[in-house]
């Protein structure tokens, strides 16, 4: 055990910090779930990519920097410390990217990773369907082989970033006679292909963060299949592991929120009751615990380990922590907490309300926390299946 950064890691931190200080936009960008905000975030991603920081753990040839996972955590810490924009292409760079790295052919890596790094192609997720939510193995949308193409029919829903994204990755049933986890194939679909209809859905915050996507005889070349035909479930589970386990929600994000929460409570120290102050400190501590656990996971991965079912422990922990932090902040804000961002009396309040609305989705997306608890019980603890 050695819980110190090396000189090289310290130097990397300093370099990232200096670059971010010089490049992070002074004014926050508009939400990426609006048309203008989406494009503004795409521009920011290009700036990041030109600086070599789009996805530091990727090999240089794909637009990355060849860093290890500790350096990735350092990058994330500096990124959130600098208050840099949210990552509009997170579905791509954090979820699909690592999956392509693991399952993709050399041609697929060369084709998809560089434009993903630059956000020339922004990705939406296509997992859920109207009748396949928590029960994802009930997928009905089909991708039927026709020569050197798949013909896709059916519907996906809750496709995050679907309203403005360029591409969608998802699971489709390639064997029409199959059921459950068998006979599914992981396919990459351009959203401008003939036969694709995208219908944006306004979320709880009023913005179009996700969409329904309809497929009507959409033809996609076989080269867009990731992993073997019929093995899509396995590929998707790897993606879900990245999502729940490590990449999507790096600890720095929650440490940044925890710091804001502590600062909020410090600024109102004379008015914050002891019980709330206690909760603030517990939130801070849990953000630290999440950080420690992530560094521990990274140590394990660097030594050749893999992320398995324990990703479900993480997902529950960060999503519930995020919600608690925002609930605690709104409690501290008291009567102001019902104000929206534009209210004259609402300085600094709107951010917490926006964050709260977003945090409410945490226990739902990336697999509901109830599903995660089932996974923990059955696959980590070994309890009998229901």
Partner 1 sequence: MDFRFEDEHRLLQETLATFLEKEHPPARVRALWETATGRSRELWARLAEIGVPGLLVPEEHGGLGLDEVAMVLLQEECGRAALAEPVISTAAVAAPLLRELGGSAAARWLPAVAAGEAIVAVALPGLPFVSDLHVADLLLFGERGRLRAIAPGAARATAQPANDPSRRLFSVEADPDAGEELARGEQADRLLADAFARGALAAAAQLVGVCRRLLDLAVSHASQREQFGRPIGAFQAVKHMLADVAVKLEYARPQVYRAAWSVARAAPLRDLHVSMAKDAAGQAALFAARRALQVHGAIGYTWEHDLHIFMRRAWSLERAYGRSRLHHDRMVRAVMEEGVPIGPGATFGGESS
CB 12 within 8 A of CB 73: no
**What is the closest distance, in whole angstroms, from the C-beta atom of residue 91 to partner 1 in the complex?**
23
Nearer CB in complex with partner 1: 1/60: 1
Is 74 or 168 the residue whose CB approaches partner 1 more closely?
Answer: 74
CB of 323 to partner 1, least distance (A): 14
Give the residue with the Cβ less far from partner 1, 286 or 322.
286
Helix (H) / strand (E) element for 343: namely none
Q: Compute how many other C-beta atoms are within 10 angstroms of the C-beta atom of residue 384.
A: 6
Task: State in angstroms the smallest separation of the CB of 327 from partner 1.
Answer: 18
**Residue 256 Cβ, how far from partner 1 at the closest point, in Å?**
5
The catalytic residue positions are 243
Q: Which is nearer to partner 1, 191 or 311 (CB)?
A: 311
Q: How far is the CB of 64 from partner 1 (least distance, A)?
A: 20
Helix axes 7-23, 69-81, angle to 10 degrees: 40
Q: Work out the end-to-end distance of the chain between its first and last CA atoms, rounded to an integer number of angstroms.
A: 40
- Please give the C-alpha separations between residue 242 and each of 39, 98, 102, 105, in angstroms, as whole numbers: 26, 8, 11, 19
Q: Which is nearer to partner 1, 222 or 302 (CB)?
A: 302
For residue 328, the minimal CB distance to partner 1 (Å) is 13
Q: Longest C-alpha distance within the chain, in Å?
A: 72
Task: Kindly provide the b/e burial profile for residues 211-236, where b requires at least 16 CB atoms within 10 angstroms of the residue's own CB.
Answer: bbbbbeebebeeebbbbebebbbebb
Closest by CA position to 123, among listed 94, 159, 165: 165
Q: How far is CA 383 from CA 136, 244, 308, 374, 378, in A?
A: 21, 21, 17, 9, 5
Q: Measure the CA dihedral 46/49/50/52, to 10°.
A: 170
CB 356 within 8 A of CB 363: no
Annotate 145-174 with b (16+ C-beta within 10 A) or e (fewer).
eeeebbbbbbbbbbbbbbbbbbbbbbbbbb
Return the number of the residue (61 or 278) whose C-beta is nearest partner 1: 278
Write down the least CB distance from residue 188 to partner 1, Å. 33
Distance CA 78, CA 89 (A): 19
Residue 164 is classified by DSSP as T
Binding site for partner 1 (CB under 8 A): 1-6, 9-10, 13-14, 70, 74, 76-81, 251-252, 255-256, 258-259, 262, 265-266, 269, 277-278, 280-282, 284-286, 288-293, 295-296, 298-300, 302-303, 310, 313, 316-317, 370, 372-374, 376-378, 380-386
Q: Are 314 and 367 in contact (CB under 8 A)?
A: no
Instruction: Supply angle C-alpha 35, 40, 41, rounded to 5.
Output: 100
> 169 or 317: whose CB is closer to partner 1?
317
Token pair in block for residue 100: 């392509």
The pair phi, psi for residue 126, each rounded to 5°, is -125, 70
Shorter beta-carbon distance to partner 1: residue 193 or 298: 298
Least Å distance, CB 265 to partner 1, is: 7
């Amino acid at each position: 055990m050695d819980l110190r950064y090396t000189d090289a890691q310290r130097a990397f931190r300093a370099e990232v910090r200096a670059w971010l200080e010089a490049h992070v936009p002074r004014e926050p960008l508009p939400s990426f779930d609006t048309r203008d905000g989406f494009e503004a975030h795409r521009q920011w991603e290009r700036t990041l990519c030109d600086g070599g920081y789009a996805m530091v753990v990727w090999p240089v040839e794909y637009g990355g920097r060849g860093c290890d996972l500790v350096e990735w955590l350092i990058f994330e810490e500096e990124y959130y410390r600098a208050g840099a924009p949210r990552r509009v292409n997170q579905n791509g760079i954090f979820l699909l990217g690592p999956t392509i790295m693991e399952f993709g052919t050399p041609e697929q890596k060369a084709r998809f990773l560089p434009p993903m790094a630059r956000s020339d192609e922004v990705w939406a997720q296509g997992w859920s369907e109207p009748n396949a939510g928590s029960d994802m193995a009930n997928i009905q949308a089909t991708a039927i082989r026709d020569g050197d193409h798949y013909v896709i029919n059916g519907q996906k829903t809750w496709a995050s970033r679907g309203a403005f994204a360029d591409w969608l990755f998802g699971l489709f049933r390639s064997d029409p006679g199959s059921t459950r986890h068998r006979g599914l194939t992981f396919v990459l679909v351009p959203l401008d292909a003939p036969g694709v209809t995208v219908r944006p859905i306004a979320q709880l915050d009023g913005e179009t963060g996700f969409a329904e996507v309809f497929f009507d005889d959409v033809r996609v070349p076989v080269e867009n299949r990731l992993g073997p035909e019929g093995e899509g479930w396995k590929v998707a589970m790897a993606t879900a592991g990245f999502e729940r386990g490590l990449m999507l929600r790096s600890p720095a994000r929650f440490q940044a929120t925890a710091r804001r929460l502590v600062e909020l409570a410090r600024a109102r120290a004379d008015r914050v009751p002891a019980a709330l102050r206690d909760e603030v400190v517990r939130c801070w501590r849990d953000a630290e615990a999440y950080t420690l656990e992530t560094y521990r996971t990274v140590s394990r991965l660097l030594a050749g380990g893999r992320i398995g079912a324990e990703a479900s422990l993480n997902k529950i922990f960060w999503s519930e922590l995020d919600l608690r932090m925002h609930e605690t902040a709104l409690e501290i804000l008291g009567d102001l907490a019902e104000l929206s961002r534009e209210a004259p009396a609402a300085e600094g309040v709107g951010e917490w309300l926006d964050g709260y609305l977003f945090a409410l989705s945490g226990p739902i997306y990336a697999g509901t926390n109830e599903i995660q608890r089932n996974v923990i019980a059955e696959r980590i603890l070994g309890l009998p299946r229901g």
